[in-house]
Amino acid sequence: MEKEKSIIVNSLDEQPVEKAPEAGPKNDDMQDMGSRVVEAVKRLEEAGQTEAEVKSGKEIVPNFTVDPKNYPIFSRQAGNREDFDKKIKSRTLSINETLGLMAGRTAETVAMLSGDVPGVPKADHVIYLDKSARPVSWLVNEFWEDFTNEEKPEETFLAIDRRPWFKNVGIETNEHQEISDNAGNWRMATKKDFWDHFDALPEEKQKDFLARIRALYIEGGIETEDVDTIMATPTVLDGKNLVIIDEVSRSGATLGIATGLLARAIGMEDKENGKTGLKSVNGHVFWSDLFKKSDGGETQMGNAPVWYPSDPNDWRGRGVKDINPEYYERLYQENPTNENRALKFGSMVIGEPLNLDEEPGELSRKLKDEMKRMHVDYRRGKVLPTLPQKARFVKKKMMNFLISQGVEFVPADKVKGNPKAYINLVEERDRVE
> Is 280 a residue whose pLDDT tops 80?
yes
Q: Are strands 125-129 and 241-246 parallel, antiparallel or unpaired?
A: parallel
Closest CA to 259 of 288, 274, 237, 276: 237
CA angle at residue 211 from 210 to 217, to 5 degrees?
105
> Is 195 a residue whose pLDDT tops 80?
yes
Q: Could you give phi then psi for residue 82, rounded to 5 degrees?
A: -80, 135
Q: Could you give phi then psi for residue 122, rounded to 5 degrees?
A: -55, 135
Beta bridge partners, 159, equal none
> Is 36 a residue whose pLDDT tops 70?
no
pLDDT tens digits for range 131-177: 999 999 999 999 999 999 999 999 999 999 999 999 999 999 888 88
Please report, to the nearest 10 degrees, the dihedral formed by the alpha carbons of residues 193, 198, 199, 204 taken in order: 170
Dist. CA 198–CA 206, nearest whole Å: 7
How confident is the model over 41-52, as a mean pLDDT? 48
Confidence (pLDDT) at 31: 42
Sign of the dihedral through C-alpha 202, 204, 208, 214: positive
Confidence (pLDDT) at 352: 95
Domain map of the chain by residue range?
3-429
How confident is the model over 407-414, as a mean pLDDT? 93
**CA end-to-end span of the chain, whole Å?**
38
Sign of the dihedral through C-alpha 26, 30, 34, 39: positive
| 27-41, 102-116, 154-168, 398-412: least confidently modelled range | 27-41
> Is 395 a residue whose pLDDT tops 90?
yes
Closest CA to 80 of 376, 229, 299, 393: 299
Q: 397-403, long-range: CB within 8 Å, 24+ apart, which pairs?
A: 397/24, 397/28, 397/146, 397/147, 397/148, 398/107, 398/147, 400/24, 400/25, 400/30, 401/23, 401/24, 401/146, 402/62, 403/36
Query: Length of the chain, please?
Result: 433
Dist. CA 56–CA 50, nearest whole Å: 10
Percent of the chain with pLDDT over 70: 79
> Is 333 a residue whose pLDDT tops 90?
yes
> Is 90 a residue whose pLDDT tops 90?
no
How confident is the model over 87-107, as a mean pLDDT? 86
Runs of H (alpha helix) within 380-417: 393-403
How confident is the model over 374-382, as a mean pLDDT? 96
Q: Are strands 351-355 and 3-4 parallel, antiparallel or unpaired?
A: antiparallel
| 4-13, 136-145, 341-350, 382-391: least confidently modelled range | 4-13
Query: 382, 376 in Cβ contact below 8 A?
Result: no
| Cα 181 from chain centre | 35
